[in-house]
Structure 1
Amino acid sequence: MPALPFRPRKAMGSWVPSKRHAVVGLCGVSTFICYADRVNISVTILHMGLTGAWRGWILASFFYGYFTTQLIGGLLSSRFGGSRVLNAAVAWWSAFTILTPWAARRSNHALFLCRVLMGAGEGLAYPAIYDIVSQWAPPLERARSFAAAQFGSKAGTMFALIVCPIIINASGWPAVFFGFGASGFLWNLAWMMWVGSEAPAVNYHAVPGDGAPDAESAALGKAKAVGAAEPPAAQEELSPRLARRLLALPSVWAIVAGHVTYNWGHYLLLSWLPTFLNEVHGVSKDNMSVSAVPFAFMSIGIGAWSSLADRWARHATLTSVRKGMTTIGLGGAGLLLLLLARAPDYLTAIMLASLSLGTQAAAGSGVLINHVDLAPRYSSVLFSLSNTFATLPGMVAVPLASAILAAPWGSWGHVFGLAAAVYAVGLAVYRRYMSAEPLNL
């Protein structure tokens, strides 16, 4: 079968961004804002006067809303289009971000509800982005387009952890929510001006501004004419029957177990690392920007581990690669969390947290991509189901850490020790039942 024609590189200086590049870029900006708004509470909560169990419940409240709208986001995007859903989602969560200081002054219960509603808006975003990018990105650009859209989440996390202390020192903690929330409405204006609810002119392939199919679309059409593989079939929409078929398979539950385990430690550090550094190692609330360093390591690790996994896959089965990368990621991260609890000073703590998240990034080339190996046609459905379960760690691990620390016997050693135990159990389940062989559904 003839290979897909190679797309020649354009001469330097002649490349002009097409409409699809603007769409993907704005999706990346939306995930940047999404994570900045999600993470800012981890720093501002140190200045809000919350103590005891309420601190844990407020940190966890976001995930209760996020959990409820994962599947709803997919259904709405398939019916009304991801563009409309994403635009509405950003406006929704930005409004509740701006309302956060008002809610905090009213009562702890009002603050909890405000964060739940803010999380519900963010839960709509990723299913919508998946729908948008899958329509606009040509097959030969799809992986890069998804990576560009997803990169904003890591950049937004680091931005919030670095910038929040600066804003708080200059204008007080409410200014964080006012500024971050306003950025979402600016994004809405940009989206409505440049994208709106427009759909690509060619199914699965965007077109340049002049309305003519681009060189890659033409190449794909030519390849189809000479017998090359066609673009993949459209993703099947979620239905109760499909969900039951998938959830009856042990290999699907292996992915769920691995995904839940991955998020347990990630959400724990995302929510509690600033508090840990402040209470245990005396890092000033005004110098909490150092808590961004571990997430920078995670961003670097994602790229490095994915390159290693691709090279490994040339010489081994995908099942071996996914199992190996997940073992490195979850096993290594769990061991490093045990050491983090015993760090003698804040520099060692930052180093161990960085190594833990950087090592955990290996699982991104394992369990987090296993959805596509196992069920290419149903990967978006499988991810929606898996991500719904994988939101539970935010609802359980975050408030549970607060309860452990409030107990007479509780310590950070118990918090991180429990996380390491979850890593061990989740990894064992994943290794026992996982597969990268495509399902025959």
Structure 2
Amino acid sequence: MRCLCKQVDLKGMNNRMAKEINACAFVKLPTCVLGKPYNSLCIKCTATICRWKFFCRSFKLSTINSNRKALGVYSSDKTTNQESDNSKALKVSDTFVKTLKSRYGWSMKNVPERFLVVLMCFLSFVLCNMDRVNVSVAILPMSKEFGWSQSTVGVIQSSFFWGYLVTQIPGGYLADKYGGKLVLGWGVLAWSLMTFVTPYAASKSFPVLLLSRALLGFGEGVAMPAMNQVVSKWIPSGERSRSLALIYSGMYFGSVIGLLLCPKMMSTLGWHSVFTSFGALGILWWLIWNAWIKSSPEKSNSISQDEKNYILKQRTTIGNKMDRTSRDIPWKLLFSKKATWAIIVAHFCTTWGYFVLLTWLPTYFNQHLGLNLASSSFVSVLPWLAMALSANVGGWCADYLLSKGFSITFVRKLMQTMGLMGPALFLSIVSFVHHPVTAVLCMALALGLGSFAQSGVYANHQDIGPEYAGVLLGISNSFAAIPGIVGVALTGFILDKTGGAWYIVFGVAIGFYILGTVVYNTMGTGKQVF
């Protein structure tokens, strides 16, 4: 086999060569640097081999000549015609080998591409909750500046879910039809732009602010179904629980980062800064996502053949893969199965407590417990940090139990029961606790155990219908968005009418946790239904 630039033979190298070929200089590298299968490299071909594309791009023609002396590279022939005719190779000295290790060692690690996909999905969920929680903190100075009551604050907080609800099912359908990569990317861009303009919207008028928050939810609404579709294409079933747990834990890390940064940024730069800076981060993520990620292993030009074979071999498949139109999705069948309704009810009950705490916990800490969010930032983020860590522990535990032969149904129900009854237990305790440290500890335990649901109902869509994973998650997430609208607004109303009776707020959440546990254990399954 010869290099596509026609200069030199490539022996034992990967077939995946660059589509964009320039005249190149060839370097033969010692085995000690690249290993036996990769002992030669064309430094002018972009993306010559998937794992060396960053190394290749580091050596553009404009920099090769300036670096040759420092790197100890010399050419045996300087004539252009002779180079093309005789394919004179550049020789690499020991100095070049040492320089490669010191300067470009980071790029010589064979990192599986599916790990990069999981990382980028994780970061998108970090941004997702950073852009949610910033208003939960900024609402305190904003309500003073604009004179908002608790009921008004509840309406503002819930307006996010107006748009969030609308795009759940369409987001899942579009992800299944056009690919989760495209849908997730545009969703992140949309919500980041709306986050960026929030200060302007608040200063303009109250309806404009509500519209911007609804459009932010419109963008975030596609995140879960689109991500679910990406994971179903990229992640083998044996790695799915911990991959999903890591990605979903991004939401909790986003809450941690947001709650740590927002008070300090607001005290120095004003409340406007938490919206403009977080929005700009999302736009940066979108640029990287489009540059690096493909919608499936089959469409990637940089994945190794071994990894592609590994994914395709273990990935769950059903029938022929083909483009589907709306008539190909069996809507009636999806809603006729008990497994679908088990997921819907459990998802609804899980998010009631989660959304209420996500939006109102800073207010609870500040006004009920008397904590200063700026000076006690670590204490206020402890529950979300516990949730982020516990989600990954739950994911690893679920995959471990599956590897030991436990059924998917048993593992999903066990994880979901812990994710519902754990919060119910500790919210019942915190309802009668007034000491700040004890209350924060109970909240940390409640939310930490609640994150085990990421390996329960949140992973169950791909179990019962892997080819309709995006649509199924869109359906359940539509119902799960209702607590964001009703529960968040209802909490503000309760607090206004009762003078801050938090035990009522927690009691309602406990009731839904118990309901979800009963329904999911009665009707849920881990077997493939669709």
> Which TM-score band applies after superposition, normalised by the shorter structure?
0.7 to 0.9
Question: Contact 1:235–1:377 at 8 Å: present in 2 too?
Answer: no
Deviations for 1:32-86, whole angstroms, at most 9, x for unmatched residues? Answer: 2122111111111111123221111111111111110112222333444433333
**Residues 1:324 and 2:418 aligned together:** no
Question: Contact 1:325–1:366 at 8 Å: present in 2 too?
Answer: yes
Question: Contact 1:168–1:176 at 8 Å: present in 2 too?
Answer: yes
Matches for 1:15-414 after TM superposition, within 5 Å: 15-17=109-111, 21-49=115-143, 50-137=148-235, 146-195=244-293, 202=298, 206-208=300-302, 213-218=304-309, 232-233=317-318, 234=321, 239=326, 242-287=330-375, 289=377, 290-313=379-402, 314=404, 316-408=406-498, 411-414=501-504
Counterpart amino acid of 1:265?
G
CA distance in 2 between partners of 1:139 and 1:168 (Å): 43
* CA-CA distance at 1:124 after TM superposition: 2.3
* CA-CA distance at 1:271 after TM superposition: 0.7
Question: Contact 1:19–1:207 at 8 Å: present in 2 too?
Answer: no
* CA-CA distance at 1:276 after TM superposition: 0.5
Identity %: 36
Counterpart amino acid of 2:277?
G
Question: Contact 2:183–2:222 at 8 Å: present in 1 too?
Answer: yes
Deviations for 1:3-58, whole angstroms, at most 9, x for unmatched residues? Answer: xxxxxxx9897524466554443333222212211111111111112322111111
Matches for 1:417-428 after TM superposition, within 5 Å: 417-428=507-518
Counterpart amino acid of 1:339?
I
Question: Contact 1:138–1:216 at 8 Å: present in 2 too?
Answer: no
Question: Contact 1:207–1:214 at 8 Å: present in 2 too?
Answer: no
Report the number of matched residues: 418
Structure 1 window deviating more from structure 2 (316-325 vs 404-413): it is 316-325
Residues 236 and 309 of structure 1, relative CA distance in 2, 3 Å threshold: farther
CA distance in 2 between partners of 1:124 and 1:255 (Å): 18
Question: Contact 1:36–1:159 at 8 Å: present in 2 too?
Answer: yes
1:7 paired residue number: none
Gapped runs of 5+ residues in structure 1? 1-9
CA distance in 1 between partners of 2:469 and 2:179 (Å): 18
CA distance in 2 between partners of 1:74 and 1:238 (Å): 13
Question: Contact 2:394–2:452 at 8 Å: present in 1 too?
Answer: yes
* CA-CA distance at 1:316 after TM superposition: 4.5
Structure 1 window deviating more from structure 2 (268-277 vs 100-109): it is 100-109
Question: Contact 1:65–1:118 at 8 Å: present in 2 too?
Answer: yes
Question: Contact 1:18–1:208 at 8 Å: present in 2 too?
Answer: no
Counterpart amino acid of 1:165?
P
Gapped runs of 5+ residues in structure 2? 1-33, 36-100
CA distance in 2 between partners of 1:256 and 1:230 (Å): 25
Larger Rg: 2
Structure 1 window deviating more from structure 2 (184-193 vs 399-408): it is 184-193
Counterpart amino acid of 1:25?
L
Structure 1 window deviating more from structure 2 (357-366 vs 399-408): it is 357-366
* CA-CA distance at 1:215 after TM superposition: 2.0
Residues 413 and 92 of structure 1, relative CA distance in 2, 3 Å threshold: same
SS in structure 1 at match of 2:330: helix
SS in structure 2 at match of 1:369: helix
Residues 216 and 86 of structure 1, relative CA distance in 2, 3 Å threshold: closer
